[in-house]
Structure 1
Amino acid sequence: MSTALRPAAKDRTNRENAVDDRPPHICVCVPTYRRPLLLGSCLCGLKAQDAKGFSYSIVVADNDVLQSARNVVDDARRQSSVEIFYCVNSIPNISRARNTALKHARGDLIAFIDDDETPHPLWLTGLYATYVQCAVDGVLGPVAPDYEGTPPRWLVESRLCERTSLPTGTPLSNVRDMRTGNLLFARAIVLGDEEPFDPRYGRTGGEDTAFFQKKLEEGRRFVWCEEAIVFETVPRERQTLRYFVRRAVLLGATAATRERRLGLSTIKSVAAANLYAVALPFALLLGYHHFVKVLVKDCNHLGKLLAHLGVKVVRERSST
């Protein structure tokens, strides 16, 4: 991608700086829940950002009424020249935590990163440069797994922990490629939204999918930045088949809440669930990692179908 600003991007930059000569400000929002060690690593990475062409601050939204993140934030604040603000959301709900962070954020741009992720030093710079060059409403980037210990071979070969990878500047139109764990967007796109992240998905997951679906329907444009990478810690408790099966069932059940019970998507899930079930023994012959991938896909569709029947095998996501 050319480094020269497109005319639309120049106009946007001029508008942002029309009031004064200060550079644009990015507020990085970090929702957290009882993961102080991981949060500490995340904040270390955020404090070390090589900011070019903008200033930035950090807002940590603690989703724990016991304020387990307060000491970590206080320690980080004492050792940083970057402004770090701490706030508490007393009801465990990831959507409410994200909304609380947004209410305390300042600046023209908002970034989101998860508390179990550590950003590359050029993370924000990459997101911001792509935002300006492409003249869009938001930019997303890749999330690479950082395994605790030596992961099982089937997990690495199945690539279940690997996320989307696309050329920088690629437009995004499928919510399956869009998550809030690595995101930058113009604050203007949430102005007027009392609760940009729907609390109904705050205990099950899927709040980011609902957010992006709404914004795409509003005509907002998002692109990809492959260089703006963050690394997600994958603890040992997430390196089990049970974890991925449980997550797949819950994601399927959550998807069912956004779809009509007798719609085309349900028909497709009925067909897919049967096809994947038949394919399981053949996948096993090809290798255990193939079996796992097919099983997880099957469980996703089964979770959706069971939810449509009023049966929810898994009701909340794990806090790990």
Structure 2
Amino acid sequence: MQEAITIEVRTPRLREPEPRVVVTLPTFRRPEHLRRTLQSLAVQATDRPFAVVVMENEAEAREGLAAARSLIEAATPRGLVLVAHARGNCSAYNAGWATALAEFPAMEHLLVIDDDEVAPPDWIARLVAAAEATGADLVGGPQLPDFETPSGARYRRHPVFTPHYDTTGPVPILYSSGNVLIRRRVLEAMGPPFLDTAFNFVGGGDSDFYTRCRAKGFRFAWCAEAPVYETVPARRTEFSWINARSLRNGSLSAMIEARSNPGPTARLRRLAKSAALLAASAPRGIALGWRTGSPVAGLYHLQVALGRFLGEFGKINEQYRRPEQN
């Protein structure tokens, strides 16, 4: 099903020169930070022509559209702003990726950054270089936390804030869409809708997409030298948020596994895996808490195991349904 899209702003002579790289940037009720993200893209040091597609997902107030308008019209950076009328992060991604394919026929690489992130000047260059060096179809990079409150730094080594990999090179799979490069051929092969909108308000649409990409034989890599810096508000350093995110990670893990391997036999295997993770959570948690110096981090493996059981019964926290609490 094609997402409802309206292109509202476009840089004059947008395809002169023809963009080879397109950065997609979903936004929802973060107009001030969106401007910071766009300003970091405007100063990218790359010899590859690129454009930005901003996906406004607040179809009523459209604060993101208003914040981006003057920058895009002035080509700082050049690109376009669309309104993705269907609410939800997967719907926003689908709108932006489909638009990038249709608007930029010379596009070779599609990149993704979120509206609470800032990219260093060599971000595009490093992701593209990693794709070319490894031959990978999808390349991820770290999302490093930038805590708004000094007290938040105590969670820097908590698993919900740490990258999945440490070293540049091929990896089995990726997990997040907040800092990623995707080759055009991947999008063309997967076809719209790219992300399943069943994940619109729970997250995990990116992980599900990567799982399906792996099943089609696409290859993954990691570029440790291409971080983005994610602003972490005080709300996300409260125990209630970290607990909800940790449980959700477990629930999504079970949900994605169930979609890949349905049936009663596969479910018994998942339940056995969840039980094994629960049994191992105490020693693993003690080790993690000792290594990070954080008792809260030490709870993570237990929370993930419990979340997997919740996911088996369809109980997944829709953290994105209530953005004021996310």
Short-chain TM bin: 0.7 to 0.9
Displacement of 1:243 in angstroms is 0.7
Tell me the residue number matched to 1:12: none
Structure 1 position 265 matched with structure 2 position 270: yes
Q: 1:42 aligns with which of 30, 37, 46?
A: 37
Corresponding residue for 1:314?
317
- Asked if residue 88 in structure 1 is aligned to residue 49 in structure 2, the reply is no
Q: Give the AA of the match of 1:27.
A: V
The equivalent of 1:305 in structure 2 is 309
Give the AA of the match of 2:59. V
Q: Which moved more, 1:291-300 or 1:234-243?
A: 291-300
Q: Secondary structure at the match of 2:150?
A: coil
Q: Distance in 1 between matches of 2:303 and 2:248?
A: 9
The aligned runs of 1:106-125 (5 Å cut-off) are: 106=104, 107-125=107-125
Structure 1 residues 254-293: aligned runs within 5 Å: 254-260=252-258, 262-276=267-281, 286=290, 289-293=293-297
Q: Does 1:64 align with 2:58?
A: yes
Partner of 1:134: 134
Q: Deviations over 1:203-245 (max 9, x none)?
A: 1000110111111111111212222111010111111111110
Query: Secondary structure, in 3 states, of the residue corresponding to 1:163?
Result: coil
Shift of 1:272: 2.1
Residue identity opposite 1:29 in structure 2 = T
Q: How far off is 1:308 after superposition?
A: 1.7
| Structure 1 residue 141 displacement after superposition | 1.3
Q: Which amino acid aligns with 1:231?
A: Y
Partner of 1:226: 224
- 2:147 corresponds to: 147
Q: Does the 8 A contact of 2:22 with 2:52 survive in 1?
A: yes
Note the C-alpha offset of 1:145. 0.9
- Cα separation, 2, equivalents of 1:93 and 1:153: 30
Identity %: 26
How far 1:78 moved relative to its partner?
3.9
Judge conservation of contact 2:160–2:245 (CA < 8 Å) in 1.
Answer: no
C-alpha distance 119-279 of structure 1, shift in aligned 2 (>3 A): closer
Which is further off, 288-297 or 194-203?
288-297
Deviates more, 1:54-63 or 1:183-192: 183-192
CA distance in 2, matches of 1:208, 1:189: 14
Q: Structure 2: how far apart are the matches of 1:165 and 1:140?
A: 9
The correspondence for 1:185, drawn from 182, 188, 197, is 182
Q: For the structure 1 residues 278 and 216, does the alpha-carbon distance in structure 2 shift closer, same or farther, using more than 3 Å as the test?
A: closer
Q: Which sections of structure 1, spanning at least 5 residues, go unmatched?
A: 1-21
Q: Is the 8 A contact 2:90 2:197 kept in 1?
A: yes
When residues 314 and 29 of structure 1 are mapped into structure 2, their CA distance, relative to the original with a 3 A threshold, is same
| Amino acid aligned to 2:46 | A
Q: Which amino acid aligns with 1:73?
A: A
The question of whether the paired residues in 2 share the 8 Å contact of 1:59 and 1:86 is answered with yes
Distance 1:305 1:62, change over 3 A: same
Closer, same or farther: CA 262–49 of 1 in aligned 2, 3 Å: same
| Cα contact 1:154–1:288 (8 A) shared by 2 | no
- Give, in angstroms, the shift of residue 289 of structure 1: 4.3
Extract unaligned runs of 5+ from structure 2.
Answer: 1-16, 259-265
Secondary structure of the 1:292 match is helix
Asked if 2 retains the 8 angstrom alpha-carbon contact of 1:31 and 1:60, the reply is: yes
SS at match of 1:306: helix
Q: For residue 65 of structure 1, report the CA deviation from its aligned partner.
A: 1.3
Which residue does 1:17 correspond to in 2? none
Structure 1 residues 174 and 155: alpha-carbon distance in aligned structure 2, compared to 1, 3 A threshold: same
Instruction: Pick the aligned partner of 1:55 from 31, 37, 49.
Output: 49
Q: How far apart in 1 are the matches of 2:236 and 2:27?
A: 18
d(CA) in 2 for partners of 1:25 and 1:157? 36
Q: Distance in 2 between matches of 1:224 and 1:293?
A: 24
Q: SS in structure 2 opposite 1:273?
A: helix
Structure 1 pair 28/157, CA: closer, same or farther in 2 (3 Å)?
A: closer
Structure 1 residue 73: deviation in Å? 0.9
